């Protein structure tokens, strides 16, 4: 079997054009959606991520305001900026790029963001809303994975989903979203005893570990759907996911590529959340 590709670039294009149309409608009413992107320090990867987010906003008609600070910025000064952005009526979403320098308590900064503007979905109120099924912003990467499953019309009800990874940003919210779709969910992690025994049971596997090609073909049940959240470099320095794509594609029914899979969907869901935040502010 050769799996069908779930193309994150094509799906992103479609979703971003819908965002652009809705953003234009809000702009016409004098309420252009606005996103503040806060970057502290000069982490090279963060600079690339932030640039891509700002560019995606521009292309979708969302105003983005980039605030770049030196790595020596104090926690108090950063908190003061967040407070100001919380009350700025032209800003509907606030994103503080992580990681922050070691002297700043990242959780404290995230909790300072108004939940109404928490387009990353990292605030404890957003996590609680996801857990209880109340309205709130969902973290962009797992939300993008759900959109990909919806796009292929995959009915999760009663299916066994195995999530590998338990981070607050991907693994845990992913498990809750799958549960919300009536899947039976197993979360595996570094202390899981027999990972292969778990993944072989799965109808859907979400790999979010950060380890190149760790999900091998012998770990996948024929016909399973495989979502790859990983973004790693292989031995040749080539970009690759957590899934051994070349071999797993012969076993799975659907698979996401890296690059061109979950990655673009993460930014797309940030745009969707920002648009949604602006829409809610307008009423
Ligand atoms: N650093 C790595 N991924 C992310 C993300 O999705 N949001 C933020 N704010 N920082 C990150």
Residue-wise pLDDT for 166-220, tens only, equals: 999 999 999 999 999 999 999 999 999 999 999 999 999 999 999 999 999 999 9
For residue 79, count CB atoms less than 10 angstroms from its CB and return exposed for 0-12, middle for 13-18, buried for 19 or more.
middle
Beta bridge partners of 245: none
CA 151 – CA 148 distance, rounded (Å): 5
State yes or no: 166 annotated in a binding site: yes
User: Which of the residues are catalytic?
Assistant: 53, 97, 120
Distance 97 CA to ligand 1 centre (A): 5
120 lines ligand 1 (CB under 6 A): yes
State yes or no: 167 annotated in a binding site: yes
Interface confidence (ipTM) of the complex: 0.94
The per-residue pLDDT for range 3-52, each reduced to its tens digit, is 999 999 999 999 999 999 999 999 999 999 999 999 999 999 999 999 99
Q: Which domains does the chain have, with CATH numbers?
A: 30-115 (3.40.50.10860), 140-262 (3.40.50.720)
CA 66 – CA 46 distance, rounded (Å): 13
């Amino acid at each position: 079997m050769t799996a069908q590709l779930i193309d994150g670039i094509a799906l992103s294009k479609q979703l971003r054009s819908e965002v652009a149309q809705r953003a234009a409608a809000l702009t016409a009413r004098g309420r252009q959606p606005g996103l503040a992107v806060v970057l502290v320090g000069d982490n090279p990867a963060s600079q690339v991520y932030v640039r891509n987010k700002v560019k995606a906003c521009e292309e979708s008609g969302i105003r983005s305001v980039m605030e770049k600070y030196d790595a020596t910025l104090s926690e108090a000064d950063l908190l003061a900026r967040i407070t100001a952005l919380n009350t700025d009526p032209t800003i509907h979403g606030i994103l503080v790029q992580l990681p922050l320098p070691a002297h700043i308590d990242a959780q404290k900064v995230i909790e300072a963001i108004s939940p109404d503007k928490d387009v990353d979905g990292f605030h404890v109120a957003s996590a609680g809303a996801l857990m209880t099924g109340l309205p709130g912003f969902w973290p962009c990467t797992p939300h993008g994975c759900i959109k990909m499953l919806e796009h292929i019309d995959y009915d999760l009800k009663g299916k066994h989903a195995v999530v590998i990874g338990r981070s607050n940003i991907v693994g845990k919210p992913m498990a809750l979203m799958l549960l919300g779709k009536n899947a039976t969910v197993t979360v595996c992690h570094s202390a899981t005893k027999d990972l292969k025994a778990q993944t072989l049971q799965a109808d859907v596997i979400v790999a979010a570990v950060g380890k190149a090609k760790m999900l091998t073909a012998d770990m996948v049940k024929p016909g399973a759907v495989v979502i790859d959240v990983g973004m790693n470099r292989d031995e040749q320095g080539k970009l690759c996911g957590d899934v051994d794509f070349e071999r797993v594609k012969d076993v799975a029914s659907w698979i996401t590529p890296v690059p061109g899979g979950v990655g673009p969907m993460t930014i797309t869901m940030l745009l969707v959340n920002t648009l949604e935040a602006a829409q809610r502010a307008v009423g």
